[in-house]
Amino acid sequence: MEILHDLPFFRNLSHEEMHNINKVFSDTKYDLGDVIYREGEKSTRLCVIASGSVKLIKQNLDGKEILTDILKQGEFFGNMDPSGETFYVETAIAQVSSCIMKINSEQFRSILEKYPTASLKVLDIMSKRLKESQERIKQLSANSVENRIAYTILKLGEKLGVENDLGLLIQIPLTRYDIAGMTGTTPETASRIISKFKEVGLIKTGRKWTVITNISELEKKI
């Protein structure tokens, strides 16, 4: 219940109110690579990550997959539009073994009708996500590939990173295909630039982790 209460639209509700809301959520476990839902399917649920991480993928006009976001424990995705029936605009995939809490769209809409402050917060969040999406589009269209990759790694560090002795640790699998998908380039170009960043001491990488070892110098690449 703590994970749900930490969601921005439920944060101001009482313990009793949250207890009632918690009862309408269900849990589903997913293994690495499992598809939670696909782009274009009818959007029927709001999802919350109880544990693990999820990546969101969208197809562009050429049919290529673009990684649009990586979500961590406590974040939400899926249908949060209280206005009515919609369709998923991306595919959600478990990036590691994950537990996802789900609520039916109609039940979520009923909760928002019952708690107007939660409904207002949902609208705020939708507006914020739109602005973030516009900022990503701006980065893709206006900057060089090196700028975009530096920006993306820094944003992931800001969102997912944990400080350790080496720097800012991003403890998730992050492949050259992921970076390429988020920055609008090829895996080969992403690999070359990541290798360059490693050579000059800006980052270190492993099979399931990336560390930003010099944030200030990486910021200069933007």
Other residues' Cβ atoms within 10 Å of the Cβ of residue 54:
24
Greatest mean pLDDT among 28-32, 107-111, 119-123, 218-222: 28-32
Domain locations in the chain as residue ranges: 2-140, 144-219
What letter would DSSP give residue 13? Answer: S
What does the longest C-alpha to C-alpha distance in the chain come to?
A: 55
Quickly state the pLDDT bin for 136 (edges 50, 70, 90).
confident
The CATH code for residues 144-219 is 1.10.10.10
Q: Does residue 218 have a pLDDT over 80?
A: yes
Average pLDDT of the segment spanning 178-182: 89
Q: Which residues pair with 203 in a beta bridge?
A: 212
Which two structure tokens, joined as six digits, stand for 112?
């928002």
The Cα 204–Cα 170 span in angstroms is 10
Q: Does residue 180 have a pLDDT over 80?
A: yes
Q: Above pLDDT 90, what percent of the chain?
A: 47
pLDDT in tens, 88-135: 989 999 999 999 999 988 898 888 888 888 888 887 887 887 787 777
The CATH code for residues 2-140 is 2.60.120.10
Other residues' Cβ atoms within 10 Å of the Cβ of residue 114:
12
pLDDT in tens, 61-85: 777 788 888 999 988 898 876 565 6
Strands (E), 72-154: 76-78, 86-87, 91-94, 98-104
pLDDT in tens, 11-22: 888 888 888 899
